[in-house]
């Protein structure tokens, strides 16, 4: 069975390199089609290890990882998987209520969410800001109001970062850098996964799972509602990076203290201690 011609959209397939097509063939044969989410994560971990990536060294090996065709598989999966599509529909529905004129999708990758927004809001200009854009995907996403860019251009009414900050070396620095391009009163839609789901989620940031909202507040944002597995934040004042880093540092110390007791032999107690971490952070930082 020719899985590639069945799974990959014809317009995208025409622009893929021979190396990328051969990789997809190998993966689809191995899994008899697209891998499921657990198989995909395992495949991403295999790639991370094969390239010799080190979470403490964001070097050329990590850059190669983010340019690897495994991300084509990830993009194809997210554009077809029912839960992933549902999340993007929920994000798009909320964004539609805000009627933004300019949107930046930071780390937008395969462009599935940006395409959803572009179709629902044809008068909204959308830019995918991604440090590792795939040339074939850039050709594939052909909406008139959607384009790829290697940097932010001017001010935006809305910035999106879904599953981004757990991958970067300094989330607070990137938050500050990207926030400079958001209009005062504009929204930042963020969905993080500071959890060890896959190896490219940097473990030095896992403590942010309970402190992120407080960091956003320190950086000048009003905490808004939950949207799917993410949350929206409204920029209302100047950022205080020093305070944000203090919160991060103190949160990490609390997390390390909790982890000291949360060893594997405690079993289900891990969940209780994780909740305790959330409660302590709430009491300390609110």
Q: Is the pLDDT of residue 2 over 90?
A: no
Average pLDDT over residues 186-199: 97
Residue-wise pLDDT tens digits, 114-142: 999 999 999 999 999 998 889 999 989 98
Could you give the percent of the chain with pLDDT greater than 70? 95
Query: For residues 70-96, b (16+ Cβ closer than 10 Å) or e, as one string?
Result: bbbbbbbbbbeeeebeebbeebbebbe
For 88-106, the three-class secondary structure string (H helix, E strand, C coil) is: HHHHHHHHHHHCCCEEEEE
Distance CA 9, CA 1 (A): 16
Enumerate the domain spans of the chain: 3-80, 82-240, 246-285
pTM higher than 0.95: no
Residue-wise pLDDT tens digits, 57-86: 999 999 999 999 999 999 999 999 999 999
Contact status, residue 117 vs residue 170, Cβ threshold 8 Å: no
- Bridge-partner residues for 226, per DSSP? 231
Q: Is the pLDDT of residue 265 over 50?
A: no
Query: CATH number of the domain at 82-240, out of 3.40.50.150, 3.60.140.10, 1.10.3720.10, 1.20.120.80?
Result: 3.40.50.150
Q: Is the pLDDT of residue 167 over 70?
A: yes
Average pLDDT over residues 235-251: 96
């Amino acid at each position: 069975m020719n899985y590639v011609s069945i799974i990959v959209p014809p317009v995208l397939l025409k622009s893929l390199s021979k190396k990328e097509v051969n990789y997809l063939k190998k993966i689809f044969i191995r899994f008899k089609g697209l891998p499921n989410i657990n198989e995909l994560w395992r495949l991403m971990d295999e790639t991370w290890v094969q390239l010799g990536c080190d979470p403490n060294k964001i070097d050329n090996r990590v850059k190669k990882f983010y340019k690897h065709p495994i991300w084509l598989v990830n993009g194809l999966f997210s554009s077809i998987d029912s839960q992933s599509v549902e999340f993007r529909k929920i994000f798009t529905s909320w964004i539609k209520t805000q009627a933004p004129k300019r949107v930046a999708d930071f780390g937008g990758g395969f462009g599935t969410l940006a395409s959803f927004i572009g179709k629902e809001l044809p008068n909204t200009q959308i830019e995918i800001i991604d440090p590792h854009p795939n040339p074939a995907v850039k050709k594939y996403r052909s909406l008139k109001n959607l384009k790829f860019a290697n940097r932010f251009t001017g001010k935006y009414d809305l910035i999106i970062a879904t599953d981004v900050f757990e991958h970067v070396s300094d989330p607070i620095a990137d938050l500050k850098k990207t926030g400079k391009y958001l209009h005062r009163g504009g929204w930042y839609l963020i969905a993080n996964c500071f959890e060890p789901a896959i190896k490219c989620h940097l473990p030095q940031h896992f403590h942010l799972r309970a402190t992120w909202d407080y960091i956003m507040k320190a950086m000048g944002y009003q905490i808004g509602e939950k949207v799917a597995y993410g949350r929206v934040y409204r920029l209302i004042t100047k950022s205080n990076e020093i305070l944000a880093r203090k919160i991060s540092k103190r949160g990490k110390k609390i997390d390390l203290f909790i982890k000291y007791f949360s060893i594997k032999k405690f079993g289900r107690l891990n969940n209780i201690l994780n909740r305790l971490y959330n409660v302590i952070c709430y009491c300390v930082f609110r």
